Amino acid sequence: MTEEADYELKGFTANMVLTAQAMEEGGLLQTQLVGTLSAERAEVRLIELAEIEDSDVSIVGRSPLALEDSLIEGNQIYKEPDWPEPGKEIEWKPGGSNETVEYKDKTWRVMCRTFDGYKVRMAIDLKEIRDELSKLMRRYFEALPLALIIIGFGAWWIAGRVVRPVQKIIATAENVTAQGLGARVQGVSSKDELGRLAAVLNQMMDRLESSFSQMKRFGADASHELKTPLAVMQGKIEAALQDHGEGSEHDTVLVDVLERVGQLRSIIDSLLMLSRSDAGSLIIEKQKLDLSHLMSEIVEDAEVIAAEEGISFQSENGSSGFIVNGDERLLRLAISNLLTNATKYNISEGGKIISELRKSGNAYQISISNTGPAIQDEIKEKIFERFYRVDTARGPNKSGFGLGLSLARVIALAHGGELNLSSSEGGTNCFVMTLPQ
């Protein structure tokens, strides 16, 4: 607090001398001068003001009593008689010398100073300084909450503007899928690094979309073009089998070739369906279907195949009235793939398949469980990838193309449902297909 008082006194003393000079030049009487100088501020008191006889003589380090000898009689402009004399440690110097004095039940901060040919001694009431500081601090604390709110809002607004382009880039990147490569970063056109990053990402997405489109077209076109020659081959082989009598030496070869052609046609049909799904052009001919009746028909055929493999089959096909809006051909294919998979990857002895249709909320669930080796956590999603083949631990001699589960999931998704591996523990694997009502 004394630092603030000393700073103010330094300004007051300089202003006092300048004012005195101006008033003397104007010819004011000494009494008028003193009255004007001492009445400027109630908390600031002029104690002493005098001209120095020879302002060119250095007075730094001289005591107030020694300085009195250098004053010409009559040049004392003003001196308040009741004030105590300055302490012995006080020196008259341009920078000023300060002390704290008790006077008339008040605490004063006093400065003795020489300035521009004058010696001036002034005091300021420290209570006034304390009051001013208290008011300032009170106003500061009153304004602080509002200032913090304004600063916080401003920081939030600025941070939002800075982060918004990054959020747009993140949102676009999160929405990029093999089926949704048309997403682009919009609204980031600044000339800074974020704008360049958005432009580079958009260019990369353009290239990816073009490459994926070419791949999809190739897969669909190749599958479509291969269907006709394979159909012709199948027809010619069947004709050749009819021309040869039973037991002919060519019978075995032709039957094997016909089986391979059938497998190729199955693969091509699956690839064509997956390509159409990727392109968003999978045709679904929806109609009202009794899911219980459809499951009964599919399970009846699956039981025959399971029996040939020595696998027991248990089914619960629900009750009539389980109606779904779907494509009968595609749903039949998806459920058949799941049952074929359950038969193919069952245990060699004492195998079991359990098929169950049940209602769950606003959806129907088709649960197909089979005994067999556990599926490790790291491949629980990989088994739904195209052409993914399990290791020999699950089926050393099992034939397959790695498309059955992938195609079943695509069909389930196309109907607004889903297909997941529900559990794989205790020697039982359970796949659940969910279809909306």
CATH of the domain at 322: 3.30.565.10
219 and 105 within one domain: no
pLDDT at site 234: 80
431 and 293 within one domain: yes
Do 412 and 334 meet the contact criterion of CB atoms below 8 Å apart?
Answer: yes
80 and 27 within one domain: yes
Do 111 and 93 meet the contact criterion of CB atoms below 8 Å apart?
Answer: no
Distance from C-alpha of 223 to C-alpha of 275, rounded to nearest angstrom: 9
Do 157 and 86 meet the contact criterion of CB atoms below 8 Å apart?
Answer: no
Asked, for residue 424, whether it belongs to a domain, the answer is yes
Give the closest residue to 44 by CA, choosing from 78, 81, 16, 82.
16
pLDDT at site 64: 53
State which of 278, 298, 322 marks the end of a domain: 278
CATH of the domain at 85: 3.30.450
Asked, for residue 161, whether it belongs to a domain, the answer is no
304 and 225 within one domain: no
365 and 412 within one domain: yes
- Per-residue confidence in pLDDT tens, the chain, 437 aa: 688 888 888 888 888 888 878 777 665 545 455 555 454 455 788 888 888 865 444 445 555 545 554 444 447 788 888 888 888 888 888 888 888 888 888 888 899 999 888 888 998 888 877 887 888 888 888 899 999 999 999 998 888 888 888 888 888 888 777 667 777 888 777 777 888 888 888 888 888 877 777 766 766 666 667 777 778 888 888 887 777 666 666 777 777 787 777 777 777 777 777 777 766 667 788 889 999 999 999 998 889 889 888 999 998 887 777 889 988 888 988 999 999 999 988 888 889 999 999 988 889 999 999 998 888 888 888 888 887 876 544 444 455 667 888 889 988 998 899 999 998 887 899 999 999 98
Asked, for residue 74, whether it belongs to a domain, the answer is yes
358 and 218 within one domain: no
State which of 69, 97, 130 marks the end of a domain: 130
pLDDT at site 39: 46
Range of the domain at 101: 2-130
Asked, for residue 218, whether it belongs to a domain, the answer is yes
pLDDT at site 247: 60
For residue 222 the two structure tokens come to 């190749």
341 and 218 within one domain: no
338 and 362 within one domain: yes
Distance from C-alpha of 95 to C-alpha of 285, rounded to nearest angstrom: 100
pLDDT at site 371: 92
State which of 90, 112, 130 marks the end of a domain: 130
For residue 280 the two structure tokens come to 């968003």
Instruction: Look at the chain and report how many structural domains it folds into.
Output: 3
Which residues does 112 contact at the CB level (< 8 Å), separation at least 6? 64, 86, 90, 91, 92, 96, 97, 98, 119, 120, 121
Asked, for residue 397, whether it belongs to a domain, the answer is yes
CATH of the domain at 272: 1.10.287
426 and 303 within one domain: yes
Asked, for residue 188, whether it belongs to a domain, the answer is no
418 and 299 within one domain: yes
353 and 260 within one domain: no
397 and 318 within one domain: yes
Distance from C-alpha of 239 to C-alpha of 244, rounded to nearest angstrom: 9
pLDDT at site 364: 92
Distance from C-alpha of 288 to C-alpha of 398, rounded to nearest angstrom: 36
Asked, for residue 340, whether it belongs to a domain, the answer is yes
pLDDT at site 73: 42
